[in-house]
């Protein structure tokens, strides 16, 4: 049985091909769109746009390039409300195909059936779109996606790609996804227990200028595994990580050596990821879902998952900057 996990990332909507922050749409207020052809469009808020996306993708799409299918199940659509946010829940059915395999009975070890390359291994996933509420100080224009994963399977990439295409082609809107915050990244992903390896890279330059002409002079790569930390050493290590993440030109100091690049190999929900700490802009946070939420069939108990999502959403929103200015 695969472990369940969550992938979290922030999102915002803006006028297509616009680099101006003034062209970013508020999530909870009227969204007015001027079209080159046709009448202007107006939506009550961003939730209406996402609802239209879900409703328009009820039929199964076969993405032959990815060997994946995609569809939204409106029967499972639900809106969760609280004083701090509104959450839209959507069930997304997605499957992979393209290779054959055999299904074996786990108890008898006998073959039950053969999966052909054209057979689709369809799985249900849940997406939660979080819309923080405005306050007297903040007009919110950043929301959050929480994608439920199952082991190595997930729907973040295919879902956001279809959203980007739909919003762009129909409304001239660009959907942008980003990491939530370095602080939250550190607490949720980088822990004493999750770090498996440090990959330290130093760009080497020769004292002879001729050596650095066309090809450069190479790199020194150092990998350190089986790390152990005490409370004091972990706090010192975290401070170095925050300093390194603070500016892409900062160096990471380790054992009296300075390195240009630091990558962390971490274990999250039974999967390992290698993360470049100078390239966090498009990183999504992944964290495990408690075992008690998973049913015997491997899928989540929906009521318990809703409760967990509400709790996690509150934790994440307390760390997020909700308005891009």
148, 298 Cβ separation under 8 angstroms: no
In a domain, 275, yes or no: no
Domain carrying residue 210: 188-268
Number of separate domains in the chain: 2
Q: How far apart are the first and last CA of the chain?
A: 45
Q: Which of 24-38, 94-108, 157-171 has the highest mean pLDDT?
A: 157-171
| Mean pLDDT, residues 150-167 taken together | 94
In percent, the amount of the chain with pLDDT more than 70 equals 94
Are 216 and 309 contained in the same domain? no
Give backbone dihedrals phi and psi of 192, rounded to 5 degrees, phi first. -60, -35
List 189's β-bridge partners, or say none: none
Q: At what angle do helices 156-171 and 46-56 cross, to 10 degrees?
A: 110
User: Taking 70 as the threshold, does the pLDDT of residue 324 lie above it?
Assistant: yes
Please report the pLDDT score of residue 1 as a whole number: 65
In a domain, 211, yes or no: yes
Provide the whole-model pTM. 0.82
Please report the pLDDT score of residue 45 as a whole number: 97
Please report the pLDDT score of residue 269 as a whole number: 61
The three-class DSSP label of residue 313 is: helix
In a domain, 260, yes or no: yes
DSSP one-letter string for 19-33: --GGGBPPSSS-EEE
Average pLDDT, the chain: 89
Please report the pLDDT score of residue 252 as a whole number: 93
Are 77 and 174 contained in the same domain? yes
Are 29 and 125 contained in the same domain? yes
Please report the pLDDT score of residue 150 as a whole number: 92
Please report the pLDDT score of residue 279 as a whole number: 80
In a domain, 324, yes or no: no
Give backbone dihedrals phi and psi of 302, rounded to 5 degrees, phi first. -65, -40
DSSP one-letter string for 202-256: EE---SSGGGGSSS---EEEEEEES----HHHHHHHHHHHHHHHH-TT--EEETT
H or E element that contains 311: helix 302-317
In a domain, 234, yes or no: yes
In a domain, 105, yes or no: yes
Please report the pLDDT score of residue 112 as a whole number: 79
List 126's β-bridge partners, or say none: 91
Check residues 55 and 325 and name the one with the higher pLDDT: 55
């Amino acid at each position: 049985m695969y472990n369940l996990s969550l992938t979290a990332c922030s999102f915002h909507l803006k006028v297509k091909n616009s680099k101006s922050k003034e062209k970013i749409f508020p999530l909870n207020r009227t969204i007015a769109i001027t079209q080159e052809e046709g009448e202007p469009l107006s939506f009550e808020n961003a939730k209406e746009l996402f609802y239209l996306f879900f409703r328009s993708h009820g039929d199964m799409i076969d993405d032959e390039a990815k060997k994946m299918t995609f569809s939204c199940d409106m029967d499972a659509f639900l809106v969760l409300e609280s004083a701090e946010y509104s959450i839209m829940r959507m069930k997304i059915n997605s499957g992979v195909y393209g290779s054959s395999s055999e299904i074996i009975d786990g108890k008898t070890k006998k073959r039950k059936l053969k999966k052909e390359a054209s057979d689709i291994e369809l799985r249900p996933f849940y997406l939660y779109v979080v819309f923080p509420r405005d306050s007297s100080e903040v007009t919110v224009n950043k929301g959050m996606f929480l994608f439920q994963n199952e082991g190595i399977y997930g729907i973040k990439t295919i879902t956001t790609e279809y959203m980007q295409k739909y919003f762009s082609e129909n409304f001239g809107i660009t959907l942008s996804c980003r990491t939530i915050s370095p602080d939250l990244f550190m607490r949720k992903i980088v822990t004493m227990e999750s770090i498996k390896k440090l990959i330290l890279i130093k760009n080497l330059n020769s004292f002879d200028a001729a050596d650095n002409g066309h090809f450069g002079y190479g790199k020194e790569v150092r990998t350190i595994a089986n790390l152990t930390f005490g409370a004091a050493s972990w706090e010192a290590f975290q401070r170095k990580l925050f300093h390194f993440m603070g500016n892409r030109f900062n160096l990471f100091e380790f054992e009296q050596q300075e390195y240009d690049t630091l990558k962390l190999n971490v274990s999250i929900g039974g999967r390992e990821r290698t993360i470049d700490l100078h390239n966090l802009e498009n990183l999504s946070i992944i964290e495990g879902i408690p075992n008690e939420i998973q049913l015997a069939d491997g899928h989540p108990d929906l009521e318990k998952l809703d409760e967990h999502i509400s709790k996690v959403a509150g934790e994440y929103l307390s760390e997020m900057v909700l308005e891009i200015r």
